[in-house]
Copies of this chain bind each other. A is one copy, B any other.
């Protein structure tokens, strides 16, 4: 294992924290890329070195890093979760429709927050990485995501 510094310029005087909110209208189950929206907030913050924490404020949708080049790969991921956490199973909590309880379980199996390093003002994502909101409900929803830039 070879290790090398990406950046070493600690900003000893003057770290700051800035919060932004993203709002997204989903059109049913599926994955919605938010990478550019998050990067736009980092640009706005002026932070060059630090981290960005992306936090989804819901329990029936979630956050995930995903392959962002091949749409077929995203469809396979979505299909996997449809089969792993089926809607046509007996759930005790079923007042809000058959897609409600599976949405909570799929959220637990994926993520609510993700923290990504920011170097030279850019998220340090790999070539194929994108950040996605994973909507688990069938109906359109208005989703809120908090973006916190620190550095």
Contacts and interface: CB of A to CB of B under 8 A. Distances in A.
Interface of A: 1-8, 10-25, 34, 37, 40-41, 45, 49-51, 53, 55-60, 64-67, 70, 72-73, 75-77, 79-80, 84-85, 91-93, 101, 104-105, 107-117, 119, 124-126, 128-129, 144, 146, 148, 150-151
Contacts of A150: 17, 50-51, 150
Contacts of A101: 73, 76
A39 B67 CA distance: 29
Q: State the number of copies, please.
A: 3
A144 B55 CA distance: 24
Contacts of A85: 80
Nearest to A131: B112
20 contacts: A1-B23, A4-B21, A6-B21, A12-B15, A12-B16, A15-B16, A55-B116, A56-B126, A59-B128, A64-B108, A65-B107, A65-B108, A65-B112, A67-B104, A72-B92, A73-B93, A73-B104, A75-B92, A76-B92, A117-B146
B119 A19 contact: yes
A149 to B, nearest CB: 9
B21 A11 contact: no
